[in-house]
Every structure is written in structure tokens, then in C-alpha cells.
Structure 1
């Protein structure tokens, strides 16, 4: 018999359209993403919102695509020193709030959650060093052909990851939004189509952050 992890309301640290994010109750290096019940879903009038309402299975499809992309990238790079540009995933766990997805926690040296690109832009705390870390992550997304369908500012987090012996170096991590979640999976058809998709996502990210995107160098700047 599997005992469900108890996630107290005080452990809730973020709430998106599809999932709530909780601190792991016993492991400070991990987070738990729990799919929201249908009744708690916002009634969006967008295409994705209508698909969620008319075809509820699409919500599960998005999670499946996320895991499939993580597995695809990691199986192509089994080497111990591989530096993944997205957060690592550790399977599923039963919780009192529903089925949870285990993922690593990107944090500050004092153990608090890392800050998103969106929050830094809003607070005016985005520095040239942060942009350099973002560019490093973008370079690795292109280099490894990661299919990232939702590169919004709140899906990039600055901080450090646990490497088994403590916190690693400061970096920028794509913590959500990877996987070819589009109705027509164009990004999965070829490497060139995914590169076009990544470039288009970076253009949108620039518009949403006030940064400048250079399609030739594949880098952001002020």
C-alpha cells in the first residue's frame, strides 16, 4: 500500500494555469507539481483553454510531452557531466492534493526559491550577469535541440541546483514549458523546424521582457 505524501497549504509556493507547485515536505532539494482539479481550472477563452474544457485529456498530454522531452534529451546525453538546460525530473508521487510530479528545486544559497526572469524584470533587478546566464541556457537549448513550447519569463529561474554534494554554480534553468505541446507537433518533425520554433520563442521572450534578441548570434542584450 502506497502512503500519500501530505502537502500542507503552507507548502504551496506557486500556482499556474494547470498545476500547483509545492515544497517537498522532507526533501529541500525538490518540488512537487500537482495537476489542478478540473473545477479549479480558470475559464480561459484562448484556444488552449477551450481545448482543456472540451478535451480534458489534453491536460494529461501536456505533462506526457514534458516527460517525453526530458527523457529524449537525457537519453541522448547519458554522460555524467551533461549540463541540462532544463530542470531534472524524478517521476511521480502520490499526495493528498493529487498525483505529483517530482522535480528539482532551483534555489538561492540560503535555501529560498530562485527568482524568475519575469520577477527580475518586474523588480528592475535583472543585471548583465543574469542576461549572461540566460544566454548560456539559450545556447544549450539550441545546442541540444530541446523542444521548448512555452518559453515565458516565469519559466526561467535563476539560482543553484543541488549536485549531490551541495549547491552547484549559479545558473538560469528552464523549469517548465519544455516539450512539443502544440496541436501540430512541427518542432518534432526536424531539427531545422525546432530551431525556427526556438528562435520564434526567443523573439516573444524578448517582447515580454524588454530585452533585445539577435537572431544571428542567438543572444539577448539590453
Structure 2
């Protein structure tokens, strides 16, 4: 083999290796079809890299995992931008806190984005303070508005004290809002906390019997409903327990 032919063969081998390493060369009909299907999915919805691979390799997509990975990695996709679009899509369905959205985007049962992509998506969807596309005041307003919406939903299904509702919104086991946003949201609502105490007292009574003082303690306790002392006394009295 001449030196020229040898050089050409080496160059071709290098380019083929680089192409395959970057997932840029579809060598089979299945891979070509997977690329076309991936593009089709991206035209109608938002996906993370892993989410799109899983979609292609699911029983619905029907491609092998290796072909799905090759197809997805052959595309020039801005996964950060996909995370932002996904976050906005979730927000059209329901309210989220900053941390709640990050968890939803990064969860294996959710968007399947990387942690960094999830944080970028939540921030640039206007939920988190920091380097989002909106000003810090606007970011705070979005979070407070979402927290207020969540608070209204809670109040439609159960009775809460002011502190109890703030704790529910900001709890790591609840909605995960920043405590300042939760407080601002609750205080933005026109809630009769005395009436909430009455409803809470009646709810407790539907479960078990209470004395007057026992109910007041339950309503006012930090481990209970967290009403103020005055609200707890009002609730117990109006529920018919106290003379």
C-alpha cells in the first residue's frame, strides 16, 4: 500500500471513530429511524436527555436502548432550554415552589433532568431567586403567587391556623416554599382565623371527645393546630364545648 493510501485510510478511520464516539453517525436503519422519532417527539413536547432516551426505548417507542442513546446524542439539543420549557409546562398545570419544581424536574419519576439543568429550569421559569431571566422582585412575586394559590387549595379542603398553613407551605414534606414566600402568601389572603379555629375544633370533635381545656390546648399547641390562644379559645367556645 502506498504512503498516500495509508494516510487516507488512517484519516478515514479517525473520522469514523470520532463520529461514532460522539454518536454522530447513524449506521443502521433503526438508528436513522430513532433519530427521526426523537426529532418528532421534540417538536411536540419537552424532554430531558434521559427522558427522551426512555421514551424511545419504551414499549411505545420500540427502539433498543443503545439505538435510542445514539439517536439522542446525535442531536444538538439545549437541555437547559428544554428544562425551562418543561418547568413552564408544569406551571400551566399547577403551582410549584422553587424547590418543588427542581425536585419535579430532576426526579426519576418526573422530568429526569440533571440537578444542574433542573435548577436552571426552575430559576429561568421565574420560581427561584438568582440569575433568572426576571428581576428578583418579579421572581419573588411568582413564588408568592404560587404559594398563595397552593394555600387557597389547602383552605378549600381543610382548616388551618396561620402558622399551620405557613408550615405546610414551607415544609420539606409539604410544598417546599421558602418560608418568607409562604408567610407573604398566607398574609396576602383574607382569612378569618377565628372561623378556621371553629372548623378545626369541629373536625377534631368528629374524631374524638374533648373537654373545653383539652380542645383549647389542642388548637393552640405547637404540636397541634398552632392557633393563637385567643383563636383557640374562640374555636372551642363556638364549637359548643365551653360554657
- TM-score between both structures, scaled by the size of structure 2: 0.20
Higher-strand-fraction structure: 1
The structure number with the bigger radius of gyration is: 2
Q: Which structure has greater helix proportion?
A: 2
